[in-house]
Amino acid sequence: MSRGLRLIPIILLLFLLSGLAWRLIKPADTAIPSQMVERQLPQFELPPAMPAKPGLSAVDLATGEPRLLNIFASWCVPCASEGKVLQELQRRGVKIDAIAVRDTPEALTAFLARNGDPYERIGADRQSDVQIALGSSGVPETFLIDGHGVVRRQYIGALNASNIPGVLQELEQAR
């Protein structure tokens, strides 16, 4: 057997190992984008998540003015850090509603007292039915809804200060 033929298995092994090393260095994106982007919101009506706020329905999100729909929970650690960004967006005139998933009124009240409350309405999604219908795979997630109730953008994970200019620009485009 020639010397070149004996190197083929070694070359194949090196190729396979380099491919595996590449996947370890740069893992696949685990974010699951919603199939609802560019589609009408599913019809839903959620009861109030806490006594001080009204509940939320799909009709509330189709009032002619674009708004953000934030999906969060009091037990979600990244949701706490997102609070300041949502409050800044609210301060700049952005209308924000929320869906609280698998939570209790007491825990939500304490969470919002600690981290700020930028929400106009908060619906209680105790079994995550609406969250799943929206194509949300976790918390926090934020959806940009145009004035006609169409999902225009999905932000997976906690919003941070660097997202503010883009969110404001996309809200303006959704008018």
CATH of the domain at 142: 3.40.30.10
Query: Is 26 inside any structural domain?
Result: no
For residue 24, the model assigns a pLDDT of 76
Residue 165, helix vs strand vs coil: helix
Q: What is the distance between the alpha carbons of residues 122 and 105, in angstroms, rounded to a whole number?
A: 11
- Give pLDDT, residue 2: 72
State the pLDDT at residue 27: 64
Q: How far is CA 128 from CA 17, 28, 103, 136, 137, in A?
A: 41, 26, 10, 9, 10
Segment holding 111, helix H or strand E? helix 105-115
H or E stretch at 22: helix 3-25
Structural element, H or E, at residue 83: helix 77-91
The answer to whether position 14 is within a domain reads: no
Return averaged pLDDT per consecutive 10 residues of the chain, 175 residues in all. 75 81 70 83 97 96 96 96 96 97 97 96 97 93 96 94 95 90
125 part of a folded domain = yes
| The predicted structure's pLDDT at residue 29 | 61
- Number of domain units in the chain: 1
Q: Is residue 32 situated within a structural domain?
A: no
Sign of the Cα pseudo-torsion (38, 68, 86, 90, in order): positive
Tell me, yes or no, whether 92 lies in a domain: yes
Task: For residue 40, tell me if it sits in a domain.
Answer: no
> Does residue 24 belong to any structural domain of this protein?
no
CB 153 within 8 A of CB 37: yes
Domain that holds residue 148: 45-173
Say if 31 falls within a structural domain: no
